[in-house]
Structure 1
Amino acid sequence: MSTSNGETDADPRLGARVRTALGLESGPLTVLEGGRSGLTYALRGPEAGYVVKAVPPGRRATGRHDVLRQAVILDAVAGTGVPVPAVRAVDEEQPAWFAMDLAAGEAVEPVLEPDRAIDPPTARARMLTAARILGELHSVPLGAIERSVAASRPVPEVTTLEAEIGKWARTMDAVPEDLRPQGTELIAELAADIPAAVEPVLVHGDFRLGNVLFDGLVPTALIDWEIWSVGDPRVDLGWFGVFTDGTLFPGAGHAVDGLPAEAELADTYREARGRGSGPTAWFAALSRMKMAAIMGHNLVRHRRGAHHDPVQEQLPPSIAKMIADARALLAGEPR
């Protein structure tokens, strides 16, 4: 099916529904690369652009396909000072979808995307700005977020650190042992010394520079909210820190001169938030375990044919490095 200007929709039925909801007569629905939850499209109207996230036809809106869960949290965060794209339309009719503004700018992960390299001073400035955004996000009163979410769906329970370990341990355990050397020992060491809980906040879940759009040095949107939760702020900050060090990704990443180290990120974050809750070695180690588990999971899916991606074959050295570095952090050893 073609739109009124003759261009073809990637999904004609969905395209028609989206244009009707947005009051548009033209503009094709095109696949937007990079979206991992549900299906992600772009639609460019005569005056504005939109990103559309939709549940795949025949799938239930659960888990990573529950795209409306993202619309709920984007609405809750809007107006807090944290830059997020505005939600413009929501349709719960199956297959469900929502449309949000197509924010200007680019999202680049310096240590993992050498082909999209940005100059080191820009990478450094963006990373420090992102640390301030994270501090601002964790400063948003949780009660206000929960009230907004509760208007349309149950508020998730607080994710404890025990549950956080358990979630990623299950992912790690599903990876063959030869691909995760000493992974079992790392999980046991983390579980044996869990830090005391702090006041919970809204946790993004995948906070890193690759999920913050920048127009030059100006942040325009924090995106990819599919795994948001309520939990420990140090989980977000520890995860962000993994992406400061290209040496943690041998064969898959590269070092970038001038990027702030984890300690500097934490200082910038604390200044923006106006309070502590900076990362400890434990949270840095947890984040490396999480990364090793995710990489192992992706590699196994590739080798089993569930998702063909030869790039995944570069991951074994990075998995081993993540685990070894995490264990060294917990032991207080030189790295």
Structure 2
Amino acid sequence: MGRGLDSDAVAKLLAEVLPGPVTVERMHPVTGGASADTWSLDVTDGSGAGHALILRRDAGRGGVSLGLDARTEPLVQRVAAEAGVPAARVLAIFAEDAALGTGYVMERLAGETIPRRLLRDEAYSAARERLVADCAAALAAIHAVPVVRLPALPRLPAREQVALLESLHRSVGQPVPAFELGLRWLRDNLPPPGPITLVHGDFRTGNLLVDERGLVAVLDWELAHLGDPMEDIGWLCTRAWRFGGAGEVGGFGARRDLDAAYGSAIAAERVRFWEVLGALKWGVICQLQSFAHLRGEARSVERAAIGRRVTEAELDLLLLIC
């Protein structure tokens, strides 16, 4: 997976934020997404204290990327954590390092992210009971992060997102009739302007670190932006992120419970708009990932296989708008 990691360069980087000298005891690559090269690290600092860490760096994003660069993403995560959002603490950020590239190091927290286990294993039965409330609290905290403390982020209200998705879909050169219907519905049902807040952009099952007691941390901040807070609610409720679970919220909960726990009124029609857009967005992302492979921009079995999920997104769209 990815290129090798230089342990001496890692030790030098961490000696700037931990008592030196730092010794790297163990490091190994972690299976993850296509855009990031992720490593699990165990290090000991100069005082003898051990640290469990994660290093993520840009893997060279082939094709079209919708995400933040590897320097901005950790800045957003750091501000969010400081504002009370459950997120891993960022220790170090590095950019264009000759040995390491561009990325960041954060604390490694214990928990599970695999949806199949979270939704079905008995070990997480108690966590499932409180996960809707935990997610509502985390979302409320994200949407309350002071915008002035954030780095420069793209501003993506509804109209601009619809136009962007249409442009990305057209760029593939493979028409999908259900996507055309979805785009028409979205243009006809644009919500009126509303509050602009920090939006996580990928708040869903699979990006939630959970232990037996509930939510531990919100992961993967690369799609963060400024926009409608209801976008995060709609994305969490998008069918693709239920992974076969019965709950409309992430496969694990009921909408009424999310509405009650969020702490302020959730506008149902706004959420429906963002759920429709979420289904379309996931379908377009599947297209982009598969065509990045087919065009030789980023050869990857994972990217090739994800193309089959375009048909799932088509069905989800039709069920929502017909």
Same fold (TM over 0.5): yes
User: How many angstroms apart in 2 are the aligned matches of 1:123 and 1:304?
Assistant: 41
% identical equivalent positions: 20
Structure 2 matches for 1:58-77, cutoff 5 A? 64=67, 66-77=69-80
User: How many angstroms apart in 1 are the aligned matches of 2:307 and 2:153?
Assistant: 36
> 8 Å contact 2:130–2:214 — kept in the other structure?
no
1:170 aligned partner: 167
Check 1:225–1:128 CA distance in 2 against 1; reply closer, same or farther (3 A cut).
same
1:96 aligned partner: 102
Which runs of at least 4 in structure 1 moved beyond 6 Å after TM superposition?
none
1:327 aligned partner: 321
User: How many angstroms apart in 1 are the aligned matches of 2:311 and 2:267?
Assistant: 31
> 8 Å contact 1:244–1:260 — kept in the other structure?
no
Deviation at 1:157, TM superposition (A): 4.6
Deviation at 1:63, TM superposition (A): 6.8
User: How many angstroms apart in 2 are the aligned matches of 1:226 and 1:36?
Assistant: 12
Q: 1:55 aligns with which of 55, 58, 67?
A: 58
Structure 2 matches for 1:246-257, cutoff 5 A? 246=242, 253-256=243-246
User: How many angstroms apart in 2 are the aligned matches of 1:322 and 1:58?
Assistant: 28
User: How many angstroms apart in 2 are the aligned matches of 1:36 and 1:282?
Assistant: 28
> 8 Å contact 1:28–1:44 — kept in the other structure?
yes
User: How many angstroms apart in 2 are the aligned matches of 1:135 and 1:244?
Assistant: 23
Deviation at 1:319, TM superposition (A): 2.4
1:204 and 2:200 matched: yes
1:259 and 2:265 matched: no
1:224 and 2:233 matched: no
User: How many angstroms apart in 2 are the aligned matches of 1:68 and 1:245?
Assistant: 27
> 8 Å contact 2:112–2:209 — kept in the other structure?
yes
Deviation at 1:277, TM superposition (A): 4.6
User: How many angstroms apart in 1 are the aligned matches of 2:226 and 2:89?
Assistant: 21
Segment of structure 1 superposing worse, 196-205 or 20-29: 20-29
> 8 Å contact 1:212–1:223 — kept in the other structure?
yes
Check 1:264–1:36 CA distance in 2 against 1; reply closer, same or farther (3 A cut).
farther
User: How many angstroms apart in 1 are the aligned matches of 2:318 and 2:39?
Assistant: 39
User: How many angstroms apart in 2 are the aligned matches of 1:158 and 1:105?
Assistant: 32
Q: Which amino acid aligns with 2:274?
A: F
Check 1:63–1:157 CA distance in 2 against 1; reply closer, same or farther (3 A cut).
closer
- How many residue pairs get matched? 296
1:185 aligned partner: 181
Segment of structure 1 superposing worse, 232-241 or 189-198: 189-198
Deviation at 1:166, TM superposition (A): 1.6
1:123 and 2:116 matched: no
- Normalized per residue, the structure richer in strand is 2
User: How many angstroms apart in 1 are the aligned matches of 2:135 and 2:240?
Assistant: 12
Segment of structure 1 superposing worse, 124-133 or 180-189: 124-133
> 8 Å contact 1:289–1:326 — kept in the other structure?
no
> 8 Å contact 2:89–2:107 — kept in the other structure?
yes
RMSD: 3.1
Deviation at 1:295, TM superposition (A): 2.5
1:331 aligned partner: none
Deviation at 1:325, TM superposition (A): 2.0
User: How many angstroms apart in 2 are the aligned matches of 1:259 and 1:58?
Assistant: 32
User: How many angstroms apart in 1 are the aligned matches of 2:147 and 2:53?
Assistant: 28
User: How many angstroms apart in 2 are the aligned matches of 1:225 and 1:293?
Assistant: 20
> 8 Å contact 2:204–2:235 — kept in the other structure?
yes
Q: Normalised by the size of structure 2, how large is the TM-score?
A: 0.79
2:289 aligned partner: 298
User: How many angstroms apart in 1 are the aligned matches of 2:187 and 2:60?
Assistant: 40
Deviation at 1:134, TM superposition (A): 0.8
Check 1:317–1:223 CA distance in 2 against 1; reply closer, same or farther (3 A cut).
same
Q: Which amino acid aligns with 2:238?
A: V
Deviation at 1:78, TM superposition (A): 2.3
2:313 partner SS: helix
1:250 aligned partner: none
Q: Which runs of 5+ in 2 are unaligned?
A: 16-21, 45-49
Deviation at 1:260, TM superposition (A): 2.0
2:276 aligned partner: 285
1:108 and 2:102 matched: no
Check 1:20–1:63 CA distance in 2 against 1; reply closer, same or farther (3 A cut).
farther
Q: Which amino acid aligns with 1:307?
A: S
> 8 Å contact 1:52–1:97 — kept in the other structure?
yes
| Deviation per residue, 1:171-230 (Å, 9 max, x gap) | 33345656x332112102211221111111101110012112122123222110011101
Q: Which runs of 5+ in 1 are unaligned?
A: 1-8, 150-154, 247-252, 329-335
2:25 partner SS: coil
Q: Normalised by the size of structure 1, how large is the TM-score?
A: 0.76
1:237 aligned partner: 233
1:134 aligned partner: 139
